[in-house]
Structure 1
Amino acid sequence: MRLVLSIICLFLLAISVSPVRAQLEQSMRIEIPSDPNEAESFDVTPLAERGVLMTIRTGSFTDNAPVRLNFQKYDTNLKPVWHTEFKQDIKYKPVTTYKSDQYVYHLFREYDGSQYQFLRLHLDDGVIETFEGKLIDQLDVHEFKVMGSQAYVSGFHHGRPVVMSFSFFDRTVKVLPGLYANRTEISSLEIDEARHEVNVLVHSLRRHCKFSIRTYNYDSKLLRTLDFDGAQNSLISGKLLPVNQQESILVGNYSTDCTPYSQGIYVARIHHAEGGSVSTTETVNDIQYIEFSQLQNFFNYLKPHRQQKLLAKAQKRKEEGKDYKFRYRLLVHDLKPAPDGLTLVAEVYYPQYRGSTLAYGGYLRGADRYEGFRYTHAFICGFDKQGKLLWDNCFPIKELLSTELTEMVQVSQQNDKMVLAYPNDGEINTEVIQGSKVVKETEKFKLKTNAENEKVTFSAQDNLMAWYDRHFIACGFQKIAATKNSNAGQREVFYLNKLTYSEETTSVETDKATTRKNDGSGR
């Protein structure tokens, strides 16, 4: 009897402590044939629970071929919802896009001239509207956003920053005042839908590197200016997140020597003053500077020996009364609201060149030797609603080189955990964290085709986006060949994969859940 009870207890104990098995599953996939000899481009826009939008552009000005935009909306099971086509005038070239809750906007401009076209695509039914107007000639567009029936375009004109508003209603153009100055850069253009305001974050490259937030109303009039003196710490970039009607939190990276190289991150609480006059200014309740060495896990991408050596060197310099200057370039993501405050995600990168040693020990730097941006790691921080740092973590990025500086690391909230992921060479790399803890170390998931007798021989322009709930979208170009017939030719496709991150226990209940999951629902 005791033996039977012991066996039962051990069986129950084994079930209760059964390990958690987390994995990224390829639940659905569609392939669109791609012709390498044709001028075509693909763009994917996730729409959360509303599905996903695929945009295929064919034709080009250089080939004197008709330019067409094919828009296809899919639901969350990658089933077609609607399809529409737009034939573009060949005189226009694409510049950039912007997505709001209801629309996707495309910005086009003349190849030679100041004429611009704004295309508005309604996400519910695919209805297309276009608006045309003249902005400024020789404008290097930096950002494009829309609020209500007004578009805002920021960029540089003869090396000076400029922001313009364009009304879809009457086609009028206004230049936002107070921005056109030498040695000044626009850090970001922020739309505040709740207050119906536009915030332009400006970084001066002059002495002390002053950082400013200029706030404009819907009519493009300057309401107020908030300046941060960079005499000691100069703010490089900033992202705003409204906490409530009276307060916002500003987060970004800072430097101590007026260079693009960051020494750490900063957090500022901004109190919004009542009224809307130009003389009214906002106040900063508190600003804290957090050096990288103060973050608990920032250097975890390094091997333990290198990490200890770096931190020891920085500490020794401080004890000697000297500053230790970090030299990191950061790509700061938009701030994400969290139940207890907000989350900051930033990726660390550096430009990579192919260097040829010269006679005087230098390196040849030229456009023909530029390779792209090399990513080393991402770090993620959690703050409360008062801007206090709660935790930080690190996600190492291995051997990732991109020709464009884009956000590679994607974040999916899974209850009290976060799944961090990035694509590379046909694979998805994931890590699961819970605050400052790493719940599951980096894993690799290889993207597959729909057929067992096929294999991916080449992958390019891999992209990954957080979609909704526990789902991601992976897309890019692949060459696919049959595994059984080596003489068969390869086909090239643009793929769209729905990936689902699941966490389940290896028990009897798990087997039942797996059976339900594979019943064809695709959810």
Structure 2
Amino acid sequence: MLRILYLFCLLFLDIGLLPVRAQLAQSLRIEIPSDPDKAEAFDVTPLAERGLLMTIRTGSFLDNTPIKLSFQKYDVNLKRLWQTEFKQDIKFKPVSTYDTDQYVYHLFREYDTGQFQFLRLHLDDGVIDTFDGNLLDQFDVRQFKVMGSQAYIGGYHHGRPVVVAFSFFDRTMKVLPGMYVNHMEISSLELDEARQEVNVLVHSIRRRCKFSIRTYNYDSKLLRTVDFDGAKNSLISGKLLPVNQHESLLVGNYSTDCTPYSQGIYVTRIHHGDSVNTLANEPINTIQYIEFSQLQNFFNYLKPQRQQKLLARAQKKKDEGKDYKFRYKLLVHDLKVTPDGLTLVAEVYYPQYRGNTLAYGGYLRGTDRYEGFRYTHAFICGFDKQGKLLWDNCFPIKELLSTDLTEMVQVSQQSDRIILAYPNDGEITTEVIQGSKILKESEKFKLRTNAENEKVTFSTQDNLMAWYGRHFLACGFQKIAASTKATVQRDAVQREVFYLNKLTYSEENQGAKSSQATIRKNDGSER
């Protein structure tokens, strides 16, 4: 059975002034029958007040069955507005997708050749355009984005990094210069729509682990290169956020031993130069390195006694003059703009093997079969526009194992408070924070069917995504059976569906009584 669920998710929830009672309410739901014996994939793209786009792909390159894409647009009441289909040549296999405000793009390639095909779907009317072109043979694609009438594809060719710009206008291809070297990896590919620039963040995998930002204009000309020496601290990843016409903030995680395991996060300001001919700009100021132990709430996912032992052990090592390193693997989200500056969200995870256990500051690898990625917690940090750390908080993630390394925690910035949420096993867990304070502790909401005499017996590939206003979407696969007051029988007939739930984050003011509500701080005290 081949089923892949691609989702582009953000969470936007409206919440009024606290104190309030807030909860998720399920308002609408649609179900599409799913056959576990067929190759099929469902992709949901929220379009805010314009509705949503659902893409259903059937067929598979692997078993030589024809591939068909069914695009269906729905309004906010989950009523279908239009539907169109596209039959793909069997020689092409899907590689990646990317969406903008106006279009959804699909990237296909012919197996073991340099022949690629781009599909562009117009979100207003469903009109489809395709663009064929030759890129590179044996091109291992890792990134795919579109700006204007050009696609940017990043990946590896014979083990060396390459970024290709493909023009939809004349079907020509350009290789961005200065990147095809040994022992270097692409960290991220970021588009600056305002400046019409492409930023390629790369890092070396040799000793010293140099990290670089290479900026190209729309014509694929190299404009600037910013290098960071990794002799002491090596930058693992980075996210760029423009703060004005000439400056951006670079935020990410770093390592002290040139490995993928982080010891903390960093932030610095980047100057873009007054001339497009500047080739060697430097950070405006020195990099600010923040160890995990310097974050007030990073370890709050642990039980208090275990947290105290961990921090006491680290402090004892430091008092003895020894170096104690916390080692974590991070999945860093894109930076979020706030009125004060920005927020950084990262999820902490480790590869899960059957029989392995989480260790202090890392993991112990078991000797049995690999199972997936185990998430332990997410942490969120607020910075001002100069890159100064203002606050940090923690969101524990319990019993979440994913076969794919994807962003599970969703974030909604509402004025000076933030709602954090993640889906798991047919439930959604939420928490409301305000800076370093927890305004509303974790609560769970269980997804239901529309019928009272039915019960969800199994749920998988659960996802949460933004929609509009106070509404958002939950979707995934479920098995459903008829239920009674007694436990559902094991041999009962079950149906399998792809579900799509419209949810509303509602709130109810509690009046004078709730004006005395307790706000709990992360140290367990009350005020």
Q: TM-score, normalised on structure 2?
A: 0.89
Corresponding residue to 2:494 among 448, 472, 490: 490
Cα deviation digits, residues 192-219 of structure 1 (max 9, x gap)? 0111110000011112111000001111
Question: SS at 1:310's partner residue?
Answer: helix
Aligned to 2:470: 470
Aligned to 2:401: 401
Aligned to 2:258: 258
Q: TM-score, normalised on structure 1?
A: 0.89
Any stretches of 5+ residues in structure 1 without a counterpart? 1-17, 357-361, 511-523
Aligned to 1:417: 417
1:102 and 1:321 map into 2 onto residues whose CA distance is 57
2:428 and 2:226 map into 1 onto residues whose CA distance is 42
2:413 and 2:349 map into 1 onto residues whose CA distance is 24
1:389 and 1:364 map into 2 onto residues whose CA distance is 37
Higher relative contact order (CA 8 A, sep 6+): 2
Q: CA deviation at 1:63?
A: 3.6
Corresponding residue to 2:504 among 493, 497, 500: 500
1:285 and 1:80 map into 2 onto residues whose CA distance is 53
2:191 and 2:422 map into 1 onto residues whose CA distance is 27
Aligned to 2:238: 238
Q: How many residues align?
A: 487
CA pair 129-209 structure 1, distance change in 2 beyond 3 A: same
2:92 and 2:71 map into 1 onto residues whose CA distance is 18
Cα deviation digits, residues 213-248 of structure 1 (max 9, x gap)? 000111111111000111111100000011111111
Question: SS at 1:401's partner residue?
Answer: strand
Question: SS at 1:59's partner residue?
Answer: strand
Q: CA deviation at 1:471?
A: 2.6
Question: SS at 1:267's partner residue?
Answer: strand
1:328 and 1:283 map into 2 onto residues whose CA distance is 26
Aligned to 1:130: 130
User: 1:465–1:474: 8 Å Cα contact kept in structure 2?
Assistant: yes
Aligned to 2:198: 198
Cα deviation digits, residues 167-214 of structure 1 (max 9, x gap)? 111111111111112221110000001111100000111121110000
Aligned to 1:26: 26
2:467 and 2:390 map into 1 onto residues whose CA distance is 26
Aligned to 2:109: 109
Any stretches of 5+ residues in structure 2 without a counterpart? 1-17, 357-363, 515-527
2:100 and 2:367 map into 1 onto residues whose CA distance is 40
Task: Map 1:53-452; keep pairs closer than 5 Å.
Answer: 53-277=53-277, 279=279, 281-354=281-354, 365=367, 369-452=369-452
User: 1:59–1:66: 8 Å Cα contact kept in structure 2?
Assistant: yes
**Who wins on radius of gyration, i.e. which is larger?**
1
Which deviates more from structure 2 when the two are superposed, residues 415-424 or residues 19-28? 19-28
2:510 and 2:274 map into 1 onto residues whose CA distance is 57
CA pair 79-282 structure 1, distance change in 2 beyond 3 A: farther
CA pair 363-51 structure 1, distance change in 2 beyond 3 A: closer
Q: CA deviation at 1:500?
A: 1.7
Q: CA deviation at 1:472?
A: 2.4
1:310 and 1:468 map into 2 onto residues whose CA distance is 42
Cα deviation digits, residues 459-493 of structure 1 (max 9, x gap)? 11111123333332111000111114967621111
Amino acid at match of 1:319: D
Share of identical aligned residues, percent?
Answer: 80
Aligned to 2:9: none
Give the ranges of 4+ consecutive aligned residues of structure 1 lying more than 4 Å apart after TM superposition: 362-366, 485-488, 506-510
1:231 and 1:420 map into 2 onto residues whose CA distance is 36
Amino acid at match of 1:332: V
Cα deviation digits, residues 407-427 of structure 1 (max 9, x gap)? 000012233321111111111
User: 1:413–1:470: 8 Å Cα contact kept in structure 2?
Assistant: no
Cα deviation digits, residues 11-52 of structure 1 (max 9, x gap)? xxxxxxx96311111122111111112221111112223222
User: 2:350–2:373: 8 Å Cα contact kept in structure 1?
Assistant: yes
Q: CA deviation at 1:398?
A: 0.3
